[in-house]
Amino acid sequence: MRANGFNHATWRVSDLERSLRFYTAILGMKLVHRGRTDAYLEWGHAWICLLERSGAWRAEGTDDSGVGCGLDHLAFSIAEADFPEAVHVLEQAGVSIVRGPLQRGGGWSVNFLDPDGIQLELFTGTLESRMKVWT
């Protein structure tokens, strides 16, 4: 398997507007797309997606829907030509695949768990290809 590097990170946030102010005004990220419950920010060669999950914060870090706020997943870039082999490697190793493989958001995607349950993704698309689909 040949991942090319970091692609994007997705955070679950409780207040999209507050998070946008932080990431754009303080950290200097560029807003590329703003939806009703999501925003895409350019950050150098990578990008960040913010997903708003309604509800008050709870001590254990979950909102009213029971979905935790914080890191949703980390994605790594992979060439489309290498994607099928990478999925095969994951399957052969008995890695828990939680979504995909499927074509989504301008590229091929497979989400899976590391040994500690951290969700990772291999994604063939780019921010530009994602925006063509989302906007």
Predicted TM-score (pTM) of this structure: 0.68
Nearest to 110 by CA among 85, 128, 127, 135: 85
In the prediction, which pLDDT does 62 show?
Answer: 45
Average pLDDT per 10 consecutive residues for the chain, totaling 135 residues: 84 88 85 95 87 58 57 88 93 93 94 82 90 79
Q: Give the residue numbers marked as catalytic.
A: 121
Task: Say if residue 1 is exposed, middle or buried (CB neighbours under 10 Å; 0-12, 13-18, 19+).
Answer: middle
In the prediction, which pLDDT does 65 show?
Answer: 54
Find out whether 124 and 79 touch, Cβ atoms under 8 Å.
yes
